[in-house]
A and B are shown apart, each in its own frame.
Chain A
Amino acid sequence: MHIESERSAKRLVRLKVNGRWREDAVGQNELLVDYLREVARLTGVKTGCDGGECGACTVLIDGEAVPSCMVLAVRCEGRAVETVEGLLSQGRPSRLQQAFHEKLGAQCGFCTPGMIMAAEALLRRNPNPTDGEIRTALSGNLCRCTGYVKIVESVKTAAEMPS
């Protein structure tokens, strides 16, 4: 079975980022969050903790919202990764982005990209979530500013907006 030689710590990885395929040499021990922030320069992806505890780094991988700080970038070969930057379509904010803006779902805004991505995955599979479903879906994303009240409201508002 094929294993790379000891010396080539980097490996070519092809993955789709926000709808575009790209290929980069990536360290085998490199985290997806670092790849996205440092290589793809998508700094909408945030880091708030030392691993898996805050959700600030949440992105979609094949449509599912996961913390990118626990994912090795090389394991994303062939997969589709979406970040908050990818939600803009033709320069227009998405429903969730619009709702988080209008309803003050973002105060300092630091948890916001991760929060919006977690909500995005929720709305794709459940277009009309209840408050409880929203809270469960966002329970891995910590926010220190809002007390979550206006975040839940924002997600509800987005769900009600015409798409």
Chain B
Amino acid sequence: MTIKLDGKARRQGVPLIDGIDKVTGRARYTADLEHADALVGRILRSPVSHGEIVRLDVSKALALEGVRAVITGDDCPHTYGVLPIAMNEYPLARGRVRYRGEPVAAVAATDLETAEKALGLIELEVRALPAYYTSEDARADGAVLLHENKPGNIEREVHHGFGDVDRGFSEADLVREATITCAEVNHAQIEPHACLADFDPLTGRLTVQSVSQVGYYLHLMLARCLEIDASRIRVVKPFVGGGFGARVEVLNFEIITALLARVAPGKVRMHLTREENFLTHRARPQTDMRLKLGMRRDGRITACELHVVQRGGAYAGYGIVTLLYAGALLQGLYDIPAIKYDGYRVYANLPPCGAMRGHGGVNTRHAFECLLDRMARELLLDPFAVRRANLLHAPTRTLNDLMVNSYGLAECLDKVEAASNWHNRIGKLPRGKGLGMACSHYVSGAAKPIHWTGEPHAVVNVRLDFDGGVTALTGAADIGQGSSTMVAIAVAETLGVSLDRVRVIAGDSAVTPKDNGAYSSRITFMVGNAAIDAARRLRTILCEAAAQKLEVPPEDVDCIGEAFHVGGGGQSSIAFCDVAKAALVNRGPITVTGTFTCPPEAQGGKHRGGAVGSTMGFSYAAQVVEVTVDEATGLVTVDKVWAALDCGHAINPLAVEGQIEGSVWMGMGQALSEETTYADGLPLHASLLEYRVPTAAESPPIEVHIVESNDPNGPFGAKEASEGALAGFPPALVNAVANAIGIDLNALPVTPDRVVEALVERRRGLRLAAARRAAS
């Protein structure tokens, strides 16, 4: 079967190039890799929330037959972390534990039973310290500090101001405040964490295969924590069963597995349980927000003030970035003349939070779009009209100096408004039924990489050999989002060859060029551009070879449909393979390197933290959600969703649709049912029964509309498509519930008990009011 990128494939898209492996069960994920000869690794986790390790005796475990390695914090004196400026965590606790579930020791044994038995033989004594599970408690006067250098248990404060907020509020016809809170949620990717590490004592080389979204970070941290020269390490990414941000940061179990492999020495596999996945966490923090908006009678926003407190868990992780995103992403969606942002990231004795799909922006957007709707209602304005009154006009730069070169939000609004038949239905639905809408956006890759090396922001190598096969080599991790397919399409389109001539090899540090990884939706924009650049270079070489054979100047040659033609075709042409052979004469196999670098003007403002939020372009989304609310049981059912997203250009429309559906639906999970809860620091939700990922039964049909604003810098005009639509769902849902039953909910998720409590509260309020009226 030849896959031609003809008109139909462009319109509808193509299946993933590794799809067949997935549907046949052939695809090997980390836990599926051959491990018959591997030892089994297990981790001993702290049973207490906060305390000093008084005694840790592993001698009995070491003495157990079948145990090949036991390690503790003594085996690794190096911190690790995703941000070079905030690495305050050890793979295995040293001296102090700060959350229940923190790794304290680990064993490698010949089988699982022995490994478990060995864990039971480790003696751990901890002197308990006071522990804090809410931001408020952690910040209270006199609270014991989780980290000595962080007074008030505040990891970071951010205070940003742009424009004249006071003037903005004084010019407003309506000023309103809302206090909104979002529960902590988790990625809950279906593939549990796993790692396979192989240390060869004879050569001193280490090979690690893991579920990572960023093999490069893992590589760096392995070298740091194991003190092995990076050149002796190989990191390979097998098939990965979803990431959603969970696997951007290097995770403790990955380093622990490698440490065990070195001590054993040999091959160690580590498969975490679902409970351990929740303990590893690194997801969206519980967030308290106080938002104030000023609005003119016509819906124009005059000023915005946001106060955010994120409960970040026990270690820094990604925290500073999450906090900065929460402020920065107030901008870039609407035209707001004045913005003040105060953010606080707080340490608490809970598993550390991190990045999760829509990193930092989701909860902020939720609060914003909810309050916007409430104010619109008060001013008797239509929710669509209010959004339209505040549109940006590209090209422009935001107050915090973010670049906006393409902006399809207006079209997104038109699309969902029409598709949902909004104007004929809003206000005319029976009680209990409601419509709500909201907008959202997200970056197409952080324009400034975390590790500043001076290298290009993305590199793709493309090879051509005697067989006529084109091989694209990329370090970008395909974690199910279809990035390898995107690379293949970009190369095939640029070269003018069929898709199945192109092979993509991704995520193996021994052969693929380094990549900054699968996060902040950077791959399509950056790696896509690098792939096009590489393919162009190859095309130039091939065109020259073809031109020589055809005896015409190279500028006159083009490759379309696997053949090189002169001019617009018609005249003489040579098959791709013949040109490839000609190009290899004298030169041998060809490897070209394509790169992409975000220009300095894309890298954000000069203020402290100004790089966060900076991007080459934003995706834009609008969505309408229709709900039915059962006032007796509090159950909210989503009947239908209409979502439109501006992804610049859909390189693979099928994949773009899939990403929009998936992100809208993930927003639904956060909105309706998902939340992590703790009892004195022990997770009550550490299973897929209590952590309620929606099932197919209650998940709605999602109608997707793709909007193409053609970004001037995007690959073929493309921007991101995987995250932008998520943040719009929760507020659209809460707005729809308000439309259905007239109650504004201030807490996520909107579980049946919360809805019923709100209804009870309202009835109580009405009764009180009636009693007061009667009395007066």
Contacts and interface: CB of A to CB of B under 8 A. Distances in A.
Q: In their complex, do chains A and B touch, with some C-beta pair under 8 Å?
A: yes
Interface of A: 37, 42-50, 53-54, 56, 83-85, 87-88, 93, 96-98, 100-113, 116, 131, 134-136, 138-152
28 contacts: A43-B29, A47-B192, A48-B274, A49-B688, A50-B687, A53-B688, A56-B190, A83-B25, A88-B24, A93-B24, A96-B23, A107-B16, A108-B479, A109-B23, A109-B27, A109-B480, A110-B241, A111-B190, A116-B23, A134-B696, A136-B696, A136-B697, A139-B696, A147-B661, A147-B664, A148-B665, A149-B702, A150-B661
A97 B345 CA distance: 46
Interface residues of B, number: 55
A64 B13 CA distance: 34
Contact of A149 (B18, B695, B701): B701
B21 interface: yes
A60 B18 CA distance: 25
B23 A147 contact: no
Contacts of A42: 25
A53 to B, nearest CB: 4
Nearest to A37: B32
A5 to B, nearest CB: 20
A43 B32 contact: yes
A113 B25 CA distance: 6
B190 to A, nearest CB: 4
Contacts of A147: 661-662, 664-666, 668, 699, 702
B242 interface: yes
Contact of B26 (A44, A49, A138): A44
B696 A148 contact: yes
A44 B190 contact: no
Contacts of A142: 190, 688, 693, 695
B31 A107 contact: no
Interface string B651-671: 000110110011011101000
B661 A146 contact: yes
Given A43-B32, A49-B688, A135-B697, A108 B25 contact: no
B188 to A, nearest CB: 6
B167 interface: no
A104 B704 CA distance: 15
B465 interface: no
A84 B688 contact: no
Contacts of A107: 16, 242, 480-482, 658, 662
Contacts of A110: 29, 189-191, 241-242, 480
Contact of B19 (A47, A101, A136): A101
A108 B240 contact: yes
A102 to B, nearest CB: 5
Shortest 5 CB-CB distances between A and B: which pairs? Answer: A44-B25, A108-B480, A147-B665, A109-B22, A110-B241
B190 A143 contact: yes
B503 to A, nearest CB: 18
B273 A50 contact: yes
A131 to B, nearest CB: 8
Interface of B: 13, 15-16, 18-29, 31-32, 187-192, 239-242, 244, 273-275, 479-482, 654-655, 657-658, 661-662, 664-666, 668, 687-689, 693, 695-697, 699, 701-702
A156 to B, nearest CB: 12
A52 to B, nearest CB: 8
Nearest to A140: B695
Nearest to A83: B25
A108 B241 contact: yes
A109 B688 contact: no
B29 to A, nearest CB: 6
Contacts of B188: 144
Contacts of A44: 24-26
Contacts of A139: 695-697
Contacts of A101: 15-16, 19-20, 22-23
Contacts of B240: 108
B192 A48 contact: yes
Contacts of A85: 24-26
A141 B696 CA distance: 8
Contact of A48 (B24, B688, B699): B688
B190 A104 contact: no
Kindly name the residue among B22, B481, B654 whose own CB sees the greatest number of chain A CB atoms within 10 A. Answer: B22
Given A49-B274, A83-B25, A101-B15, A108 B192 contact: no
A154 to B, nearest CB: 9
A47 B31 contact: yes
Contacts of A140: 695
A111 B696 CA distance: 13
A112 B24 CA distance: 9
A86 to B, nearest CB: 9
Nearest to A115: B696
Contacts of A136: 696-697
Contact of A138 (B16, B187, B668, B696): B696
A23 B693 CA distance: 38
A145 B480 contact: yes
Given A42-B25, A135-B697, A53 B15 contact: no
A162 to B, nearest CB: 18
Given A145-B480, A147-B662, A152-B696, A46 B654 contact: no
